[in-house]
Amino acid sequence: MPAIVSVAEAIPEHVLTQDQVMDFARDLFSGSFKDIERLLKAFHNGQIEKRHFAKGLEWFKTDKSFEERNNTYIEQSIELGTRAIKRCLENDLFLTRNLPCDEIDAIFTISSSGIATPSIEARIMNKLPFSEHTKRIPIWGLGCAGGASGLSRAYEYCLAFPEAKVLVLSIELCSLTFQRNDRSKSNLIGTSLFADGAACALITGDKVQRDFQKLSSIPGIRGTQSTTKRNSLDVMGWEVKNEGLYVVFSKDIPSIIEGWLKPNVTEFLRGKGIEMEEINHFVAHPGGKKVIDAYQKSLQFDPCMTEISLDVLREFGNMSSATILYVLKRFMKIGRQGDIGLATALGPGFSSELLLLEWE
Give 141's DSSP letter. Answer: S
Nearest to 218 by CA among 206, 230, 226, 232: 206
Catalytic residues: 144
Q: Which amino acid is at 322?
A: A
| Ramachandran region, residue 141 (left: φ > 0; alpha: ψ -120 to 50; beta: rest) | left
Among positive and negative, which fits the CA dihedral 51, 54, 57, 63? negative
Three-point CA angle 89, 195, 184, nearest 5°: 155
Give the span between the Cα atoms of 263 and 71, in whole angstroms: 42
* Number of residues that make up the chain: 360
C-alpha dihedral (177, 292, 354, 237), degrees to nearest 10 = -20
Tell me 95's DSSP state.
B
E strand spans, the chain: 3-10, 14-17, 50-53, 106-111, 135-140, 165-173, 196-204, 219-228, 236-241, 244-249, 281-284, 340-347, 351-359
B/e letters for 326-351, b = 16+ CB within 10 Å, e = fewer, are bbbbbbbeebeeebbbbbbbbbbbbb
